[in-house]
Amino acid sequence: MRTVEWINGRVRMIDQRQLPWNFTHLDFEDYREVAQAITDMVVRGAPAIGATGAFGMALAAYQCPTQVLGDALDYLEVAAIILKKSRPTAVNLAWGVDRMMQVAREDVYRNTKDMLSAMIKEAQTIADQDVVINQLMGKHGAALIRDGDVVIHHCNTGALATVDYGTALGVIRTAWEQKKKFRVLLTETRPRMQGARLSAWELHQLGVPFEIIPDSSAGYYMRKGEAKLVLVGADRVAANGDTINKIGTYMLSVLAKENNIPFYTVAPTSTIDLDMPTGDQVPIEERSADEVRTPYGNALIPEEYPVRNPAFDVTPQRYLAGIVTEHGIALPPFKESLARMVAANSTAKVG
């Protein structure tokens, strides 16, 4: 199941807004539509939108109206700006778009057709590498789960949040494939309910035992001693280990620390932003108040009542037991261990 893929000059995505009620795909023939689809959360999850940004750049090259290489580069520069603005918090989006622009700027092309071929190939490489990276993270992280554990998971970090397989849910998937016996408590993840809709749908497909819980009840299960581990993903990891993830993650990390429960982030090195010293400098996306007022068209809050809707929060690194990457588990002090994980990309070949 590929969340996003290239199909004969179109970018095809699973429409995640329709799950779990309908499993449908949408096709896009204009990179601006791809950018809007990212904003509208047709596709979401940091690794998935990184790959989508890459395919969006390939689509921009495909639809480029000029055959002049210099003019085509100008066209792609504009496309890159539009795509990167579609969601500002997840660093993977800018990473994927910038990686595509590096390919576009290479001084090796005889014509725009050659450049297009190279960009389609690079976007596909990014997508294929994402799957392999997720499987590697799953193998490293599965050791954290023991028979009999109850794992709390927030938001959605499975195949739907990546090209395929998943980050934190990928760890859970690998542990299940290893025949370990455990169950998962899925927070609803308001206001868009990614846990109750998407993570539950994925675990249901895999046969992993799960229960959906209100966001506000996680501390209840921790204090009872029922929960043994917390696994979450990330949209960006700062150089010091601060983690930017779906709103509500910070609250879970504090509760886990208070109750002596290990709290791990699972994220590929493409999500690690060594240029960002701490999480406090990361722009936090503020989404429409309508997501809170009228979720899925159901009016819950009067229009005149003021609403704030931050999409992410910052979890200070002191609350993390570790960060699972494709190169292993980074442990405190994170400034040193994360730098080593990123450096490992220069010597390791993935995919």
Q: Which residues are catalytic?
A: 235
Pairing status of strand 25-28 against strand 272-273: unpaired
- Which stretches within the chain are classed as H helix? 31-39, 46-63, 69-84, 91-104, 112-142, 168-177, 194, 200-206, 218-223, 249-258, 290-293, 334-343
Torsion of CA 168, 169, 174, 175, to 10 degrees: 90
Specify the amino acid at residue 155. C
Q: How many angstroms separate the CA atoms of 123 and 129, rounded?
A: 10
Q: How many angstroms separate the CA atoms of 158 and 176, rounded?
A: 13
User: What spatial distance separates the first Cα and last Cα of the chain, rounded to whole Å?
Assistant: 18
Q: How many angstroms separate the CA atoms of 25 and 42, rounded?
A: 10
Count the residues in the chain: 351
Q: How many angstroms separate the CA atoms of 316 and 241, rounded?
A: 7
Task: Please count the helices (runs of H) and the strands (runs of E) in the chain.
Answer: 12, 14
